[in-house]
Amino acid sequence: MAILKDMECDGHERVVYCRDDSVGLRAIIAIHSTVLGPALGGVRMWPYASSKEALRDVLRLAQAMTYKAAVAGLPLGGGKAVIIGDPQRKKTEGLLRAFGRAVEGLNGRYLTAEDVGMTVADMEIVRKETKHVTGTSEKKGGSGDPSYPTAKGVLYAIETCLKEMYGDPSVRNRTVAIQGVGKVGYPLGELLATAGARVILSDTDPQRAMLARREFEAWRVEPDEILQVECDVLSPCALGGVLNRKTIPKLRCRAIAGGANNQLENPSDARRLEERGILYAPDYVVNAGGIMNILVGLQGGRKGYDRAKAEGLLRQIPDTLHAIFSKARAEGLTTAQAADSLAEARLQEASAQKMDAGARRAVPLRGRTGRTRVRR
Ligand code: NAD
């Protein structure tokens, strides 16, 4: 019942449970909103402890996608999918294709892409069953893995935080701590190291951590230490919920800007960060580079993907963040509240426009009783 209440409160349009015993598929697709466009959001494969945990995750992630697209001014709605299972052991062609059929069944209201536990190669398999797949290989005319543009957007967000704090956006000789050097964290580390930043990193996969440490000449710390290292900017690039009542008192960073979705365990954690004087760049603003890139791929159609256009969109992330920081200061809001407020204003405006357009399209009809009725 509590979960149904979450769905009601957050206003999800549709939630679908997909099951195919022949290939071991257990998946949930959540469409939070299609007010601004089709619901776009990646599919995450993760060994959730229960269906309930998976449902909670997908509901929160789908809602964040709606806000991400809205605040970035993109004509996209928000959705997300989760496949329950360990991607190392349970991912098979049959399972991916069964997931593709479930996506196809939604007739384009939900567009999928890769997320944690999925790769561009996996999405090519999903594509055998549905065309509603984004972020497929550039060689095949797609916009490619969204992770690199996401990482670039995170870099721009880190620079924006530095500008806000020190008046200078340069990362040179600044210290950035990255939690998780996966598809987003790894290229982010490379970009930072190339620009002269001091990088501290950790990953629960020791091999990835060692490789990144060598490649970027970074410092490596254990996963349970990364949130407590002294740094200018902490960049969570692993999973959500890392900023909470237990971790926030121990942080030793000046700002937070990372690629992970849903970094705050609870909305009230934004106020906790503010009280500690830590500048928080809202996660869904920082990590919008991936969906910006996907949108450019979708709009390219047969002409294909336009890299310059994608870079132009990424360059808007600093402007959006500056607007959020200013609004938060002016109105006494946390930066998370300021971002939500900008996103909600855009959603309300789009809903109102849709209703207006619907009313204008309404055709007066003569009902059988002779009274006028309206057809939409
Ligand atoms: P990924 O699975 O490739 O990388 C995550 C990395 O974090 C892995 O290397 C994993 O070993 C590590 N990790 C997990 N728990 C950890 C912990 N407690 N401490 C340190 N390391 C830990 O995933 P990704 O695609 O890089 O995504 C990372 C985050 O960014 C996710 O929250 C995802 O939703 C978000 N995101 C990704 C994209 C994208 O384009 N890939 C776009 C927007 C948001």
Structural domain for 44, as ranges: 2-134
In a domain, 139, yes or no: no
Residues 103 and 232 in one domain: no
Give the atom of ligand 1 at the shortest distance from the alpha carbon of 184.
Answer: 26
Length of the chain: 376
Please indicate, yes or no, if residue 373 is contained in any of the structural domains: no
Q: Are residues 125 and 188 in the same domain?
A: no
Task: Determine the distance separating the centroid of ligand 1 and the alpha carbon of 221, expressed in angstroms.
Answer: 17
Distance CA 8, CA 178 (A): 35
358 lies in some domain: no
Using only C-alpha atoms, the chain has a radius of gyration, in whole angstroms, of 21
Query: Do residues 179 and 328 share a domain?
Result: yes
Does residue 173 sit in the same domain as residue 90?
A: no
How far does residue 203's CA lie from ligand 1's centre (Å)? 10
Rounded Cα–Cα distance for residues 245 and 259 (Å): 21
Q: Model confidence over 346-367: pLDDT tens digits?
A: 999 998 887 777 766 654 443 3
Q: Is residue 362 part of a domain?
A: no
pLDDT at residue 374 in the model: 35
**For residues 50-61, average pLDDT:** 94
Is residue 297 within 6 Å of ligand 1 at its C-beta? no
End position of a domain, from candidates 134, 161, 193: 134
Supply the pTM of this predicted model.
0.89
**How many beta carbons lie within 10 A of that of residue 140, not counting itself?**
11
* Same-domain status, 221 and 327: yes
Residue 368 in domain: no
Amino acid 130: pLDDT? 96
Q: What's the number of domains the chain is made of?
A: 2
Residue 364 Ramachandran class (φ > 0 left, ψ -120 to 50 alpha, else beta): beta
User: DSSP assignment, residue 278?
Assistant: -
3-state secondary structure 174-227: CEEEEECCCCCHHHHHHHHHHCCCEEEEECCCHHHHHHHHHHHCCEECCCCCHH
Residue minimizing CA distance to atom 4 of ligand 1: 182
CATH code, domain with 77: 3.40.50.10860
- State the DSSP code for 75: S
One domain, residues 11 and 117: yes
Shared-domain flag, residues 217 and 178:
yes
Tokens standing for 65? 């996608």
Task: For ligand 1, say whether the CB of 146 is within 6 Å of any of its atoms.
Answer: yes
Q: Is the CB of 159 under 6 A from ligand 1?
A: no
Query: Residues 5, 52, 68, 80: which is the catalytic one?
Result: 80
Q: Give the pLDDT of residue 140.
A: 73
Same domain, 172 and 120: no
Examine the domain organization and report whether 177 and 217 are in the same domain.
yes
Q: Are residues 181 and 217 in the same domain?
A: yes
Per-residue pLDDT at 17: 95
- Residue to substitute in 82, 120, 184 for testing ligand 1 pocket (most ligand atoms within 8 angstroms of CB): 184
- Give tens-digit pLDDT for 170-193: 999 999 999 999 999 999 999 999
Instruction: Check whether residue 87 and residue 156 sit in a common domain.
Output: no
CATH number at residue 257: 3.40.50.720
Our answer on whether the CB atom of 205 is closer than 6 Å to any ligand 1 atom is yes
107 inside domain: yes
- Average pLDDT of 233-252? 97
Instruction: Show which of 134, 163, 187 is a domain's final residue.
Output: 134
pLDDT surpassing 70 at residue 115: yes
Ligand 1, atom 30, residue with closest C-alpha: 260
Specify whether 166 is located in the same domain as 284: yes
User: Which of 134, 156, 186 is the last residue in one of the domains?
Assistant: 134
What integer is the mean pLDDT of 81-105? 97
Active site residue 80: yes
Calculate mean pLDDT across residues 2-25: 81
Mean pLDDT in residue range 256-277? 97
In terms of phi and psi (left: phi > 0; alpha: psi -120 to 50; beta: otherwise), the region of 115 is beta
Q: Does pLDDT of 138 surpass 70?
A: yes
Any atom of ligand 1 within 6 Å of the Cβ of 183:
yes
Q: Within a domain: residue 6?
A: yes
Q: Is residue 230 part of a domain?
A: yes
203 touches ligand 1 (CB under 6 Å)? yes
